[in-house]
Amino acid sequence: MNWIIFSSIFILLILAIIFGPNAWRLYKVANLFDKKTISYNFINMKEFFPTSTLIKASISPHVFKRREGFTLPEFYEFEGKEEQIQAAIDYFNTDGLMILQDGEVLYENYWNENKENSRHIIWSVSKSFLSALVGIALDEGLIDDINDPIIKYLKDFKGTGYEGVSIKNLLQMSSGIEFNEDYGDPNSDINRYARVTATGTSQREFAKTLKNSREPGTYNHYISLDSQMLGMLVAEVTNLTVKEYLHEKIWSQIGMQDDAFYLTDRQEVEMSLGGLNVTLRDMAKFGQLYLNKGSWNGKQVVPAEWVSISTIPLDEHVQPNAGEEFTSDAWGYGYQWWVPGPKVSDYSAHGIYNQFIYVNPESKVVIAKTSSNYNFVEERQYTKDAHIAIFRAIAKSISQR
């Protein structure tokens, strides 16, 4: 029996030596969302995956003023029932929640060993930061027109599924690329992407393998690789990495308090589709920038027109509840921002496992939320809709005070 145990250990050691880094990354990808460790994983991604150098905090950090006396409302209305907000915070395994009104902090709280200086992965909330960079590059004349085909700038994608796809199509998740983004399906395209990038395939080469199945600009279907294409575009036209451009144009301009970082592939290219790790306070700061229509202390950081058109569904196929012939989601979509609808002016950045930056212009409320909701895969639309109901209840209670 001892020799069997010894042989097994020896084989494992040999495998670790030969395949060590890749094996460890594959293991973490496979177990990243385990109920027992998901919160720890989400605030410690730097331990497990390749990451960029730090996006350095501003040399003049902005600290929000605080307003005392606010308490969370007790209830919210959802699907015809009155539900408890605190119970929802617990059920959705909330890691952090911050509420601003008029640029002042009303509420800030942390759970699951998450802290004010924890850099939490925000998954697809990263896409909304990326949208801002596209708008800035357009304003600077580095991009001629968002109706340009992407291959005008990324010439090596000629002959791939992305030929014939415009920048606007990418912004609206309307490329027509055939892609399965079901995180619960181990054979889905998004999980295949995670595995191959963990073992060394570049994101750029992976994107070239994708095929087109619909006419671009006619159907809204969420495809994270569309956002990665936008990241490649930003890098191409600016001659900077996404990280560098983000620091220059946003991080240093609005007084971000803390360093941040991206997950990267083995080629050290940022996973701009969802790999940004930031503190809750800096998430809220970005939301406040958008509430301010892209202005910060009198300086226009993101073009005001870009903020306006990014946060509304401009075309029929991206409207809320547009119908199965136009969309695969009940929510509307702007330029990498979600628009829940039906007739409310609020909008949200959203990442899997319930990361949010919620902006409500009418009540001047911004809410940032990080979570490690292990129920997300089975309850995706429910968790999205419930959060918007909670956020709207909070905004309403604030505006009535």
Buried b (16+ CB within 10 A) or exposed e, 332-342: bbbbbbbbbbe
Helix axes 280-291, 126-139, angle to 10 degrees: 40
- Establish how many alpha carbons lie within 13 A of residue 357's alpha carbon, considering only the half-sphere containing its beta carbon: 26
Average pLDDT for 65-93: 97
- The mean predicted confidence, pLDDT, of the chain is 93
pLDDT tens per residue, range 43-74: 999 988 899 999 999 999 999 999 999 999 99
DSSP 250: I
pLDDT at 200: 84
Is pLDDT of 122 > 80? Answer: yes
pLDDT at 390: 98
Least confident of 30-39, 100-109, 316-325: 30-39
Residue with tokens 């960079």: 133
d(CA 242, CA 282): 17
pLDDT at 159: 98
Buried b (16+ CB within 10 A) or exposed e, 344-372: eebbbbbbbbbbbbbbbbebbbbbbbbbb
Is pLDDT of 217 > 90? Answer: yes
Which of 225, 222, 182 is closest to 202 using CA atoms? 225
β-bridge partners, 84: 75
d(CA 323, CA 114): 39
Is pLDDT of 16 > 60? Answer: no
pTM of the model: 0.93
Which of 370, 330, 364 is closest to 349 using CA atoms? 370
pLDDT tens per residue, range 263-279: 999 899 999 999 999 99
Provide the token pair at 248.
């220059």
pLDDT tens per residue, range 135-148: 999 999 999 999 99
pLDDT at 13: 47
Average pLDDT for 116-127: 98
Neighbours of 11 (CB within 10 A): 10
Is pLDDT of 370 > 50? Answer: yes
CATH topology of domain 40-399: Beta-lactamase (3.40.710)
Share of the chain above pLDDT 70, in %: 93
Residue type, 96: G
For the chain, the domains span 2-31, 40-399
Is pLDDT of 20 > 80? Answer: no
As a whole number of Å, the end-to-end CA separation of the chain is 72
Is pLDDT of 347 > 80? Answer: yes
